[in-house]
Amino acid sequence: MSLLEVHDLHASVNGEPILRNLSLRVETGEIHAIMGPNGSGKSTLANVLAGRPGYEVTAGQVSFNGAGLTGLEPEARAQAGLFLAFQYPVEIPGLSNMEFLKAAWDSHRAAQGAQPESAVSFMKRARALAKSLELNPEFLKRGVNEGFSGGEKKRNEILQLLLLEPKLAVLDETDSGLDIDALQTVAAGINRFCSADTGVLLITHYQRLLNHIVPDRVHVLSEGRIVASGDRHLAEKLEAEGYAWLSD
């Protein structure tokens, strides 16, 4: 059974058609990279999958783990194991990062009929993971992303990913704004998430991330549709030649 199956998806944002005829299948254990020019619909796809309000599926089907996804609220999708790392993570001043992460994790557990993890055990896990991402554990006490640098926000997204243990991670330009060392740290975090039971949709502009995280498939989005798919060598060709050859 596929982890994610998108079949002939058409979607609009605030009434504006953006995605057209988009089909994609991610099996467990697979990493798919989504590339494509600015404005081609990559974040729209991510938002449609996550169920962001204002994003409407006008035709086609999306199933996740064998069940229809489109009618579900964003929180039900998250509880089913879908995770979105934002291209532009939002700041939530006044809500501590630790409280936010613990509340998210507890609600996941509650959805599975499990008791909340003890605060001590959760904090220990969060601190260890933060350290592994070279994020000072003091950041757990700050407001969610409040005053974080661009790269710190991206590392915080991966901290969330590793703490919440979803099945499918949709990572929207998690590599953007990272310095050279941070790129490696974040890539190691993503690789740590990858297993035979999980899948990743990795939205990126740059081949350099794919040197660290080897994709099984690479897709190119253009004007809301997939115009090319291939193995990792497609990303190398794009890096060398750009996108123009695809429209020849």
Cβ-contact 220, 227 below 8 angstroms: yes
Residue closest to 213 by CA, chosen among 45, 2, 34: 34
Q: Which does 40 bind (CB under 5 to 8 A by kind): ligand ATP, Mg ion, none?
A: ligand ATP
Q: Which does 36 bind (CB under 5 to 8 A by kind): Mg ion, ligand ATP, none?
A: ligand ATP
Strands 55-64, 31-35: pairing kind: unpaired
Q: Can residue 42 be called a binding residue for ligand ATP (CB under 6 A)?
A: yes
Tell me how crowded residue 91 is: count the other CB atoms within 10 A of its CB. 14
Residue closest to 169 by CA, chosen among 86, 57, 71, 68: 86
Q: Which does 171 bind (CB under 5 to 8 A by kind): Mg ion, ligand ATP, none?
A: none
Look up residue 41 and give its amino acid: G
Q: Can residue 40 be called a binding residue for ligand ATP (CB under 6 A)?
A: yes
Q: Which does 95 bind (CB under 5 to 8 A by kind): ligand ATP, Mg ion, none?
A: none
Task: State the nearest-atom distance from the C-beta of 48 to Mg ion, in Å.
Answer: 12
Q: How far apart are CA 186 and CA 25, in angstroms?
A: 25
Q: How far apart are CA 57 and CA 17, in angstroms?
A: 10
The correct pick among 1, 14, 90, 240 for binding ligand ATP (CB under 6 A) is 14
The correct pick among 9, 32, 41, 85 for binding ligand ATP (CB under 6 A) is 41
Q: How far apart are CA 151 and CA 139, in angstroms?
A: 13
Q: Which is nearer to ligand ATP, 146 or 223 (CB)?
A: 223
The correct pick among 22, 30, 33, 44 for binding ligand ATP (CB under 6 A) is 44
Interface ranges with ligand ATP (CB under 6 A)? 13-14, 16, 18, 36, 38-44, 87
